[in-house]
Structure 1
Amino acid sequence: MTETRTVELSSAWTQAAAFTAAVDAKLGKWLTDTYGIGLSEYRAMNHLRLAPDKELRVNELAHKTGLNQSSMTRLLSRLEAKSLTYRDTCPDDGRGVYAVISDEGEALVARMREDYDAKLRSLVIESATHFPELDVRQTADALRAVAELLKN
């Protein structure tokens, strides 16, 4: 039988954030070493891959990836230099700019996705090994507490 424990929300959030940051750091290093792409770049390309017409307004993509407009602009410049994305203007509103994933970018994300999912799964399943500084049980409790709030 599983023991139910009450977890203070602020502590739960801090623990969940520490776990997420640790996983993101390992994922980012692995992506850079393996594919030459950073974690934010991968996430941006994945959002574009899943978007209708393979494009999103730049400000919407920034919001989805948790970046500010300036950081997104720099990220897109890096991806464009690698021919993985390009920018296009909105035909209805010349001021609107879209980020579009290129065929090369979509092919790269398709190649990376299975490896990315396997790496992420390994980091989570083997978190005690990968992150000995984090208490796995406390992290699990914290994630459950946050999940419970999302159900409300």
Structure 2
Amino acid sequence: MTTRWLTSEEQRAWRAYIAASHLLEDAIDRQLQQEAGMPHVYYSILANLSEAPDRRLRMTDLAERTKITRSRLTYAVTRLEKDGAVRREGCPSDKRGSTAVLTDEGMTLLERTAPGHVDTVRAALFDRISPEQVGQLEEICASVARGLEGDDAQAPPDDVPWRRRSPGPCT
């Protein structure tokens, strides 16, 4: 198989993407650490739980939504449990499964932190691009995500840690 090297234009686009994504993640992490003492991934866990029915998600589903490994999620949820933001419950229909639940304290933390987070995202990203570019960014990112999720769907479950098959909702 012959390597398809990046063109000069693709190389510039790739490097610009890498620089922008690293700087954006750094800006978001810095703001969240200063305001709430948590990294972006912890905020994402709280945000995903806040949007779920009854503010609860099976751990495997939460790992898939946040795109982190189950072991990293377990570590993060343990830390959030110690802070009182999340609690874990067993799954009656699957003794090996567990559910993460956003507590009232966690919801309060999220509500207190969200305005600064949104301000940071707006200042770091959306204030720097035109409304037309917002639509283009969404289209590009959605296309890449769909393609990669399609690739993941073809991979064995053990190769994609957050896509391991869940037996279904806890009931």
What TM-score results when the alignment is normalised by the length of structure 2?
A: 0.67
> Equivalent residue for 1:111?
112
Deviations 1:27-81 (A, max 9, x none): 1011111211111000000000000111111111112112111111100011011
The alpha-carbon distance between structure 1 residues 148 and 33, as it changes in their structure 2 partners (threshold 3 A), is closer
The alpha-carbon distance between structure 1 residues 88 and 13, as it changes in their structure 2 partners (threshold 3 A), is farther
The alpha-carbon distance between structure 1 residues 84 and 15, as it changes in their structure 2 partners (threshold 3 A), is same
What percent of counterpart residues are identical?
Answer: 27
> Equivalent residue for 1:45?
46
Name the SS for the 1:37 alignment partner: coil
- 1:145 is displaced (CA, Å) by 7.5
> Equivalent residue for 2:124?
123
| Structure 1, 58-67 or 99-108: larger mean CA deviation | 58-67
Name the SS for the 1:87 alignment partner: strand
Name the SS for the 2:92 alignment partner: coil
Query: How far apart, CA to CA, are the structure 1 residues paired with 2:93 and 2:115?
Result: 37
Paired residues, what number? 134
Q: Which amino acid aligns with 1:146?
A: I
Q: Which amino acid aligns with 1:21?
A: H
> Equivalent residue for 2:5?
none
Structure 1 unaligned blocks of 5 or more: 1-6, 128-135
> Equivalent residue for 1:80?
81
What TM-score results when the alignment is normalised by the length of structure 1?
A: 0.74
Name the SS for the 1:53 alignment partner: helix
Q: Which amino acid aligns with 1:89?
A: G
Q: Which amino acid aligns with 1:68?
A: T
The alpha-carbon distance between structure 1 residues 74 and 15, as it changes in their structure 2 partners (threshold 3 A), is same
> Equivalent residue for 1:18?
19
Structure 2 unaligned blocks of 5 or more: 1-8, 147-171
Superposed CA RMSD: 2.9
* Matched-pair contact (CA < 8 Å) for 1:27–1:119: yes
The alpha-carbon distance between structure 1 residues 80 and 12, as it changes in their structure 2 partners (threshold 3 A), is same
Name the SS for the 2:35 alignment partner: helix
Query: How far apart, CA to CA, are the structure 1 residues paired with 2:91 and 2:52?
Result: 15
Query: How far apart, CA to CA, are the structure 2 residues paired with 1:79 and 1:25?
Result: 21
* Matched-pair contact (CA < 8 Å) for 1:79–1:85: yes
